[in-house]
Amino acid sequence: MSDWRVPLSDLAYDHREGEAAARVISSGWLSMGPEVAAFEAEFAEFLGVRHAFAVSSGTAALHLALLSTGIGPGDEVIQPAVNFAAAANMTTLVGARPVFADIVSLAEPTIDPAHVERLLTPRARALVVMHYGGHLCRMAELAALCAERDLVLIEDAPHALGARYLDPSGRPPHGRHAGTLGDVGCFSFFSNKNLATGEGGMIVTDRADLADRIRLLRSHGMTTLTWDRHQGRAHSYDVVANGFNYRFDEMRAAIGRVQLEKLPTGNARREALVHEYWRSLAGLPGLTLPFLDHQGESAHHIMVAVAESVAQRRTIVEHLDACRIQTSLHYPCIADFAGFADQGEHHLPLSREYASRTITLPLFPDLLEPALHTVCKEVADSLRRSN
């Protein structure tokens, strides 16, 4: 497919995804129906959460998370600036204002609870956390802050499917899955995710009131589904809210079920590869390896290293590019995007530093050790050249 000697990510697909898709084609039903219902039930059971709704994307999940929790005009939503732009875009779309908090450090690029606390104003209504790379944020502190200040807690959890929060003291929410630690959790099944269906997402919650709202908003605010009517369980419907078409479909749900079965093995393989990266890259001059000492069970969605300077980052990236090894940047600082220029000044020294120096290296379950060692060797070579 690509010209890369080592691509950044790759699908963990085999004949089972093909068979699942073929099963749907021969079933004669493509839109949301029994495969979606089964995928949702299996997903909810895997996470240990009451309600799971499959949706058309992770972005749709975030939109529904904000709408179902009543976030709107005049509200402030505290969130990380080191994130994909979807949460900030959806915040703006519902009429609220994203307020960006800095990261803890270059070695722990997740939202800093102390900075969140300093940013709280009477208009703050929600906190969005993002478990960067699959490593959980400091959830005990953040959840306590949300409880104390009556903030909605939304987990933007596409990196962290299968990750669990482990607290050294064993205190709650010890052992709980990412996505189930707040009011509502959002996942994406975009092609590069640990569970991939091309496009798609899931929104999960334990709260029955939010579940009712999400169910309606996902499908036009209608009281029955086409599938219900096809089954003869309903003959008409009412529209009781102004909703969307954020539905998922049978083909992707069937593929998603296969991918969910493979997730624990895939995540374990990612973990082994990240540990091998850490062993191989440790000790290289100037490189910081985030999350090296991190507590918790990560989903290891991406492998990141932080260069000691912007110039060193450029040298490494250009060298790897010349070796046909694909790299990426997770993420530019959102506050510096043109689309957020009117959101005011944000004091984000660490986020900006991180964004300018971080490099994402290839990681996917089928990555083989020789390829990983080639990546590490080329990183070491580029550092030697830059010194």
Ligand X SMILES: Cc1ncc(COP(=O)(O)O)c(C=O)c1O
Which residues contact ligand X by CB under 6 A?
Answer: 57-59, 83-84, 86, 130, 156, 158-159, 188, 190, 201
Determine if the peptide bond prior to 246 is cis (ω within 30°). no
Q: What minimum distance in Å lies between the beta carbon of 98 and ligand X?
A: 13
Least CB distance to ligand X at residue 58 (A): 3
Residue 382 Cβ vs ligand X, minimum distance, rounded to whole Å: 27
Q: Could you count the other beta carbons within 10 Å of the beta carbon of residue 265?
A: 11
CB atoms within 10 A of CB 342: 7
ω into residue 285 within 30 of 0, thus cis? no
Sign of CA dihedral 69, 74, 78, 79: positive
| Distance in Å, CB of 84 to ligand X, minimum | 4
Q: Which is nearer to ligand X, 113 or 185 (CB)?
A: 185
Q: Give the bridge partners for 130, in sequence order.
A: 156
301 vs 319 by CB, closer to ligand X:
301
Minimum distance of ligand X from residue 383's CB (angstroms):
28
Q: For residues 124 and 34, what is the distance between their CA atoms, to the nearest angstrom?
A: 40
Q: Least CB distance from residue 194 to ligand X, whole Å? A: 11
Partners of 51 in beta bridges: 205
Minimum Å gap between C-beta 188 and ligand X is: 3
Q: Dig out the tokens for 94 from the structure.
A: 């519902």
DSSP annotation of 132 reads: G
Amino acid letter for position 333: C
What 8-state DSSP symbol labels residue 283?
T
Q: Which is nearer to ligand X, 263 or 383 (CB)?
A: 263
Task: Give residue number: closest CB to ligand X.
Answer: 58
Can you point out the beta strands (E) in the chain? 51-55, 76-80, 97-101, 103-105, 108-111, 124-130, 152-156, 184-188, 201-205, 303-306, 358-361
Could you tell me if 356 and 258 are in contact, meaning their C-beta atoms sit under 8 angstroms apart? no
Separation of alpha carbons 313 and 295, rounded Å:
27
Q: Which amino acid is at 254?
A: A
Cβ closest to ligand X, residue 33 vs residue 58: 58
Nearer to ligand X, 92 or 374 (CB): 92
Residue 59 or residue 351: which is nearer to ligand X going by CB? Answer: 59
Which CB sits closer to ligand X, 135 or 319?
135
